[in-house]
Amino acid sequence: MINLVLFGPPGAGKGTQAEFLKEKYELVHISTGDVFRFNIKNATELGVLAKSFIDKGQLVPDEVTINMLNAEVEKNPEAKGFIFDGFPRTSAQADALGELLASKSTDVSAMVALEVEDEILVERLLERGKTSGRADDADESVIRNRIAVYYKETAILKNYYQAKDKYFGIDGVGSIPEITERISKVIDAL
């Protein structure tokens, strides 16, 4: 199994690359944000629980998030692997993901991080904001804050996966096929 933790700051191209990688390697893309929205919208037991924390302005406990991810993994027993997008964000979550995968006799194969300079990210997101309708893509100060939060949160994970020789930084600038090729070289060497 190939299990990837896909990382990169907002605007790095994670969603775009995940689409290509899931096709090429027959992986299941699990976006934590999408999983949360689906569970909340459909008022699943976990969605109702998650919403109760969100409505109070609290973070959803790791256990609830892991249970949602486990449900997604369970829905795909024939998968050749998974792309985890937006999770983990802390070393405790990375440990929990490792335990979840170990319970299924597999592990995280690699953390692939798309690396893009801040100014390019801001430019990309402002451009996306013109068509996405997302308010958080239209305001430069909000964009810069999102990027700063990403670096603050994920520096820990870079170190976590580097210590396990599973961190791969990929140049996220270039054409979409060029970037896909860079990621594919890492995956093919796993």
pLDDT tens for residues 40-76? 999 999 999 999 988 888 888 999 999 999 999 999 9
The angle at the Cα of 19, spanning 18 to 25, to the nearest 5 degrees, equals: 80
| Across 81-109, average pLDDT | 94
> Which position has the higher pLDDT, 89 or 185?
185
Q: Are strands 2-7 and 81-85 parallel, antiparallel or unpaired?
A: parallel
For the stretch 109-164, pLDDT in tens is 999 999 999 999 999 999 998 988 878 888 999 899 989 988 887 778 999 999 99
Residue 93 pLDDT grade (very low, low, confident, very high; cuts 50, 70, 90)? very high
Active-site annotation holder among 37, 75, 134, 164: 134
Q: Give the model's pLDDT for residue 60.
A: 86
Q: Give the model's pLDDT for residue 106.
A: 95
Q: What is the 3-state secondary structure (H, E, C) of the chain?
A: CEEEEEECCCCCCHHHHHHHHHHHHCCEEEEHHHHHHHHHHCCCHHHHHHHHHHHCCCCCCHHHHHHHHHHHHHCCCCCCEEEEECCCCCHHHHHHHHHHHHCCCCCCCEEEEEECCHHHHHHHHHHHHHHHCCHHHCCHHHHHHHHHHHHHHHHHHHHHHHHCCCEEEEECCCCHHHHHHHHHHHHHCC
Active-site annotation holder among 128, 144, 158, 166: 128
Q: Give the model's pLDDT for residue 160.
A: 95
| Across 31-40, average pLDDT | 89
* pLDDT beyond 90 at 89: no
Q: Give the model's pLDDT for residue 137.
A: 85
Count CB-CB contacts under 10 A for residue 143.
24
Residue 27 pLDDT grade (very low, low, confident, very high; cuts 50, 70, 90)? very high
Q: Give the model's pLDDT for residue 153.
A: 78
Active-site annotation holder among 51, 104, 144, 146: 146
With beta carbons less than 8 A apart as the criterion, state whether 5 and 111 touch: yes
Active site residue 134: yes
Count CB-CB contacts under 10 A for residue 33.
10
Active site residue 124: no
pTM comes to: 0.86
Residue written as token pair 């692939």: 112
Domains in the chain, number: 1
Domain that holds residue 36: 2-188
Q: Which phi-psi region, left, alpha or beta, contains residue 113 (left: φ > 0; alpha: ψ -120 to 50)?
A: beta
Q: Which phi-psi region, left, alpha or beta, contains residue 8 (left: φ > 0; alpha: ψ -120 to 50)?
A: left
CATH number at residue 138: 3.40.50.300
| Across 85-109, average pLDDT | 93
Q: Give the model's pLDDT for residue 105.
A: 94
